[in-house]
Chain A
Amino acid sequence: MYRDEVPQDGAILEQWHEIAYAVDEEGNYVLVPSAGWEPSNLVNVQAWELIAAQVSRALEQIHRGEASPLLYHMERNQMDVGLLARYVGMSRWRVKRHLKPRPYAALKPEVRARYADVFRIPPHKLEELPARVEWPVETERKLK
């Protein structure tokens, strides 16, 4: 890659630049700031679309009464049961149970507080679900 080929495509890095290694006219390596590259932006968006799809599936399940609000927060924070269990310091089995509406409704305040702390929200906001989820990138395309 030559210095003048270093991509400056912008978008997901906001005002950021990353460093690219490229060769100058004499063939020597130089460090060049890059505003981003369209192909890597594209696959980054694809990764977010996967997360967004999982979150909307979670919201549907919650609205149908099949899951507790914890499922939304878990997916929103890009976690699975195993990772969430590590963060709250409980067994996977317990966390899995708390993802069901009935056991969730019976949770003690201390346990709710542990979840809320991991998700960095006050405990009384655990049940607050957004009508529309904001993502750091445009996730317009639909993925199955």
Chain B
Amino acid sequence: MTIEFTHRQSAHCESGVTSNLLNHYAHPVSEAMAFGIGSGLFFGYFPFIKINHLPLITFRGAPGSIFKKCASRLGVQVQSRQFRAPRRAMDALDASIDAGVPTGLQTGVYWLPYFPAALRFHFNAHNLVVFGREGDEYLISDPVVDHAVRCARADLERARFAKGALAPKGRMYSLGKVPEQLPLPAAVRRGIKEVAFRMVRVPVPLIGVRGMEMLARDVERWPQKLGDARALIHLGHLIRMQEEIGTGGGGFRFIYAAFLQEAAQVLECREFEALAQEMTEIGDQWRRFALLGARRCKGRDSAENTFPALAQMVRECAQREKFLFNELLRVLDS
């Protein structure tokens, strides 16, 4: 059984799956739009939560939230299930495919054989769409791959039952009833409001621009606190979280700028165009930080990329984002 499904590559897996599924039901919602409505942008720095002895730094919201929020804000019904028994999870997937429903899965990247070897780490919140089955093989639209791929049943089962942080527990999901007209303007407003609120209004020093300021302070102190070798490993880790596949570059700032550009049209609001441009420049600033930071990791030191200089770049990003999200809130409320 193969469902006619258009595979479109995207920058980020979850917004890509959301967009591809909506497109399947004849709603041309772009990836950037899904990302924005689903409030995908975030910043969080949790130095006391360690993954492989490195602090948790994230530029995106909680896994699963983009799809859930985007669907609910657009008035689209969602079916979502988790399983205890792998066999039942696979049977349910087969039944869903046989019924002609393209089905989203949460998987662990480590177990997906078609994924580029260099990117196979234990990350358990990777999303993909299964749109067919031929014998023991599944046809998969993985949004970060440029073409549709195949995956053997045993491998897919393993990936669906990956263990550890964010374990998917076989989670599968699909769209139910889709309204004829999507309430785009209202959904866009709600998507922006939540992100802006998180970035500048939440009184917690770990998230939003306050989290960035805290990160900047720590970056400055890493060499004294951790020693040179560990400081470089921390810096490399930060750049990886910001730039590794699935961000579209600059810690999702560019994809968010693309969303703001579309939002300007949906809301017929010229002010958003200028803000989209500012967001692009902030993304460029994050990229400069990654470029100079990576040079330091490589041992090419200069006055430009000392730890205090790098910290200053993060601080500038924070300041500019603070202004930008306050502006967004002001424009939305006016």
> What residue in chain B is nearest A86 (Cβ atoms)?
B163
Interchain CB contact under 8 A, A42 and B294 = yes
Report B268-292 residues with CB < 8 Å from chain A CB: 277, 280, 283-284, 287, 290-291
From A21, A37, A46, give the contact of B257 (CB < 8 A).
Answer: A21
- Is the Cβ of B257 less than 8 Å from the Cβ of A39? no
User: Do B11 and A44 have beta carbons less than 8 Å apart?
Assistant: no
**Chain A residues within 8 Å of B245, by CB:** 13, 18
Q: Does B135 contact A (CB under 8 A)?
A: no
- Is B39 part of the binding interface, using a Cβ–Cβ cutoff of 8 Å? no
Q: Mark A128-144, 1 if CB is under 8 A from B, else 0.
A: 00000000110000011
Query: Does B26 belong to the interface (CB within 8 Å)?
Result: no
Which residues of A62-88 have CB atoms within 8 Å of chain B's CB atoms?
77-80, 82-83, 86-87
Which of chain B's residues has its CB closest to A28's CB? B261
Count A-side interface residues using an 8 Å CB cutoff. Answer: 41
Which residues on B sit within 8 Å (CB–CB) of A27? 277
Please, how many angstroms separate the alpha-carbon atoms of A40 and B295 in the complex?
11
How far is B32's CA from A21's CA once the two chains are assembled, in angstroms?
A: 9
Minimum distance in angstroms from B301 CB to a CB of chain A? 15
B229 pairs with A40, CB closer than 8 A: no
Bound-complex Cα distance A42 to B9 (A): 24
A-B contact count (CB 8 A): 124
A107 interface hit (Cβ, 8 Å): no
**Once the chains bind, are A83 and B248 in contact (CB under 8 Å)?**
no
Please give, as numbers and ranges, the residues of chain A lying within 8 Å of B146 by CB-CB distance. Answer: 16-17, 33
Known: A43-B236, A43-B240, A86-B163. A16 touches B261 (CB 8 A): no
- 18 new A-B contacts at CB < 8 Å, known A22-B249, A38-B294: A1-B249, A1-B284, A12-B116, A12-B118, A19-B248, A21-B248, A21-B254, A29-B261, A31-B10, A37-B249, A39-B290, A39-B295, A40-B294, A43-B240, A46-B232, A47-B240, A48-B118, A137-B118
Interface residue ranges, A against B (CB under 8 Å):
1, 12-14, 16-23, 27-29, 31, 33-34, 37-40, 42-44, 46-48, 50, 77-80, 82-83, 86-87, 136-137, 143-144
